[in-house]
């Protein structure tokens, strides 16, 4: 693989690690020319999946779009980036397992919300606010009340 720093045509793999579920390989590389070290990731190539948008349009599934939404939900939350990546991997795997050739944005959004609800309730509310397009405080409050009823946390504790 070409060096990112100096552009040398080759690099040496100095360490390889497989993810827990075996779907990803992380490789540490070093350029023999400038000694720059960098990391690459190797993933399975997934089949093409069309996403049906709310307006009826279709586009190819894009992991980057999924990642942006999930990372925004976890902004300034106490979850490591590696855990967020694992969550995104799990969501992506479920998307590809549940769909044949097409999936709706609604199905993807609901799957993300189900995962976020079990991991971090604040991230869940943040994602829900965008996904469900809350227009006022009443919709926001209603979602928090639904979440509160599912857990043992009292509404007073949520405001602290």
Structure tokens at 61: 């599934």
Looking at residue 37, its pLDDT comes to 94
Looking at residue 152, its pLDDT comes to 56
**Is there a single domain that holds both residue 2 and residue 81?**
no
Give the number of other Cβ atoms within 10 Å of residue 67's Cβ: 15
**Is there a single domain that holds both residue 53 and residue 34?**
no
How many separate domains does the chain show?
Answer: 2
**Is there a single domain that holds both residue 54 and residue 31?**
no
**Is there a single domain that holds both residue 66 and residue 141?**
yes
Its domain, for residue 37, covers: 1-45
**Is there a single domain that holds both residue 10 and residue 22?**
yes
- What is the rounded distance in angstroms from the CA atom of residue 132 to the CA atom of residue 5? 43
Looking at residue 34, its pLDDT comes to 95
Q: Which helix (H) or strand (E) holds 93?
A: helix 81-98
CA 111, 112, 113 angle in degrees (round to 5)?
90
Looking at residue 153, its pLDDT comes to 47
Asked if 27 and 39 count as a contact pair (C-beta separation under 8 A), the reply is: yes
The SS3 call for residue 4 is coil
pLDDT along the chain (160 residues), means of 10: 89 88 86 93 78 91 92 90 90 83 89 90 85 77 78 50
Asked if 26 and 17 count as a contact pair (C-beta separation under 8 A), the reply is: yes
Q: What is the DSSP letter of 151?
A: S
Longest CA–CA span in the chain (Å) reads 61
Question: Which of 59, 75, 145, 63 has the alpha carbon at shortest distance from 116?
Answer: 75
């Amino acid at each position: 693989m070409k060096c990112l720093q100096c552009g040398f045509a080759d690099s040496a793999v100095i360490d390889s690690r497989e993810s827990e579920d075996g779907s990803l390989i992380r490789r540490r590389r070093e350029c023999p020319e400038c000694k720059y070290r960098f990391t690459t990731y190797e993933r399975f190539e997934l089949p093409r999946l069309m996403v049906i948008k709310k307006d009826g349009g279709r586009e190819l599934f894009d992991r980057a779009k999924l990642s942006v939404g999930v990372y925004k939900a976890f902004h300034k939350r106490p979850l490591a980036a590696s855990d967020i990546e694992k969550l995104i991997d799990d969501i992506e795997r479920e998307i590809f397992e549940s769909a044949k050739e097409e999936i709706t944005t609604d199905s993807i959004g609901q799957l993300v919300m189900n995962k976020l609800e079990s991991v971090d309730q604040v991230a869940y509310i943040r994602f829900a606010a965008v996904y469900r397009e809350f227009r006022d405080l009443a919709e926001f409050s209603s979602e928090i009340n639904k979440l509160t009823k599912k857990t043992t946390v009292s509404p007073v504790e949520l405001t602290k």
